[in-house]
Amino acid sequence: MFVVFCLCIVYHTAVIFGYRNEGEEIYKGMEEIMVVDDEPSVRLLVGSILGNDYKVQEASDGAQALEIASNHHLGLILMDISMPGVDGYTACSALRNNLSTRDIPVLMITGDVHEVNRKLEEQMGVVGYITKPFDCQDLRDKVKQVLDGCVTVA
């Protein structure tokens, strides 16, 4: 019940402050990032946390993420590991094999720490991971570190 309440507040805040407004003037000069998660509530939450500082694209699976990444100049991708269809690891591997997307840093998002395969992440150039549930400030800090170049693609 508490989670639903929080998500409602986040949604209304996002609407009030224009996160859902796609007008390009709002985003002029903002770094563009993408959140990829099959859970709409996670995409909305991450978007509302980061939407005042970055232009946030959303994808619901790895296939959609690959399409968006090919058509946008992204500074960072936050990607869920476990998704139906094209999962996070498969999508990340495809990103690394594409000349136009290979240098986009990827932070993996997971609800299960045991799911994290650090050796595989290193091979794919993943810059780190964020576990769900995450602290809003930790998310902001990690994104800023990556975009400021403090954390780089392996």
Q: Which pLDDT score, from 0 to 100, does residue 128 have? A: 84
Exposed e or buried b for every residue in 83-102, given b needs 16+ CB within 10 A?
Answer: beebbbbebbbbbbeeeebe
Q: In this predicted model, which residue has the larger pLDDT, 118 or 11?
A: 118
Residue type, 153: V
User: CA–CA distance from 135 to each of 3, 6, 120, 141 (Å)?
Assistant: 14, 14, 25, 10
Q: Do 35 and 58 touch, CB atoms closer than 8 A?
A: yes
**Tens digits of residue pLDDT in 123-150:** 777 888 888 888 999 999 999 999 988 7
Contact yes or no for 65/37 (Cβ under 8 A): no
Q: Which domains does the chain have, with CATH numbers?
A: 29-147 (3.40.50.2300)
In this predicted structure, what is the pLDDT of residue 132? 85
Q: What confidence score (pLDDT) does residue 25 get?
A: 52
pLDDT band at 100 (very low <50, low <70, confident <90, very high): very high
Question: Beta strands of the chain (E only): which ranges?
Answer: 32-36, 55-59, 76-80, 106-110, 126-131
Asked if 75 contacts 107 with a C-beta cutoff of 8 angstroms, the reply is no
Q: How many whole angstroms separate alpha carbon 47 and alpha carbon 55?
A: 9
Average pLDDT over residues 87-103: 92
Query: What's this model's pTM, rounded to 2 decimal places?
Result: 0.79
Residue 45 DSSP class: H
Give residue 21's pLDDT: 46
Can you read off the two tokens belonging to residue 110? 């997971």
pLDDT at 133: 87
